Amino acid sequence: MDMFKPLEVSDEGGAKGPSESEKVRCLIIGSGPAGYTAAIYAARANLSPVLYTGMQPGGQLTTTTEVDNYPGYPEGVTGPVMMENLRKQAERFGTVVKQGSATSADLSKRPFRVTIDEEREVIADVLIIATGATAKYLGIDAEKRYAGMGVSACATCDGFFYKGKDVAVVGGGDTACEEASYLAGLCRKVYMIVRRDVFRASKAMQERVFSTSNIEILWKHEAVDLFGENGVEGALLLKNRGTDSEEEVKIAIDGFFLAIGHAPNSEIFKEYLETDKAGYIKTTPGTSKTAIPGVFAAGDIQDPHYRQAVTAAGSGCMAAIDAERFLSTAEQEKGK
């Protein structure tokens, strides 16, 4: 690995920009199922990948207790154990895994330049972006207190654990309606906590909710706290009664699901890559290719629909194969 320190110095005598640089063939940003799977495939293809873990090594799955829907684990597995297994597998084939978060990027030309922690510049022949998306939370202390103990941002991931129980879903958009409908097929009762007196969801999704008998909509309610001894046992809500009047309401629940959206971690790449309105990186359908040749996106950063570990892993595989083919073609043309 080519390591060097730039000699450029500012007038004040300090270094301008990153203090160190490294040159790599394949740079992977992000360490969720997409990033680690891309690393496994890239390493086996002799791309000598270097992976930077990001602020949350292992991604969102490290905040999940039990994972029962990932193929190959008949008895289930915890999120942290699963991600540690993926890391070890990537390292087994030669991936260099490093701690650090991408803080800026220059994708204007190839090789690409990505700055890590505002200190180290990585120069890469190909770049795989697997920075994921972050679920939006209400910001109440109880969400952290009951993380993995009744609070979830993924009904598809965790709904099974609440089979036959009562749960609540926060939100009024398409995602909330979809999550509530899914949970209604598993749970005894589903409360929908909606701040407004109308849904933001499409008419089709609204009708689906209205026609489901075990969904109760709590209009003009806002969740302000959760309570319970060894996990969530209920939620404290404020009901807006109009004319600046609010009423405290308590509901008994076992699970509390956030469905108020996700924020893709794409900010530093938006200047160069095409994104949708929400910030998800657009890729060529059926591939991981972005608008810039040599830059690929995998996992939740380019997937606003499924957001599952298994689909993220699949797209990580695609990104590594696309990257290998791109490099192979570029190197063949260079040698002509």
> Does one domain contain both 91 and 160?
no
> Does one domain contain both 122 and 20?
yes
Give the active site residue among 26, 125, 157, 303: 157
Q: What is the pLDDT of residue 1?
A: 34
> Does one domain contain both 126 and 215?
no
Residue 317 known to be catalytic:
no
> Does one domain contain both 78 and 186?
no
Domain boundary residue among 258, 278, 299?
258
> Does one domain contain both 176 and 296?
no
Give one DSSP letter per residue of 210-256, joined into a string: HT-TTEEEEETEEEEEEE-SSS--EEEEEEEEETTEEEEEEEE-SEE
Residue 125 known to be catalytic:
no
Q: What is the pLDDT of residue 184?
A: 97
* CA–CA separation, 141 and 280 (whole Å): 28
> Does one domain contain both 167 and 197?
yes
> Does one domain contain both 220 and 323?
no
Q: What is the pLDDT of residue 19?
A: 65
Low pLDDT (below 70) residues in the chain:
1-19, 63-65, 242-243, 336
DSSP letter at 258?
E
The CATH number that applies at residue 126 is 3.50.50.60
Tell me the whole-structure pTM to 2 decimals. 0.78
> Does one domain contain both 94 and 214?
no
> Which of 195, 310, 207, 215 lies closest to 260, judged by CA?
195
* Cβ neighbourhood burial of 164 (10 Å; 0-12, 13-18, 19+): exposed
**Residue range of the domain that includes 228:** 137-258
Residue 225 known to be catalytic:
no
DSSP letter at 278?
T
Domain boundary residue among 196, 223, 258?
258
Q: What is the pLDDT of residue 335?
A: 75
Give one DSSP letter per residue of 105-148, joined into a string: EE-SSSSEEEEETTTEEEEEEEEEE---EEE-----HHHHHTBT
Give the active site residue among 26, 117, 141, 154: 154
Total domains present in the chain? 2
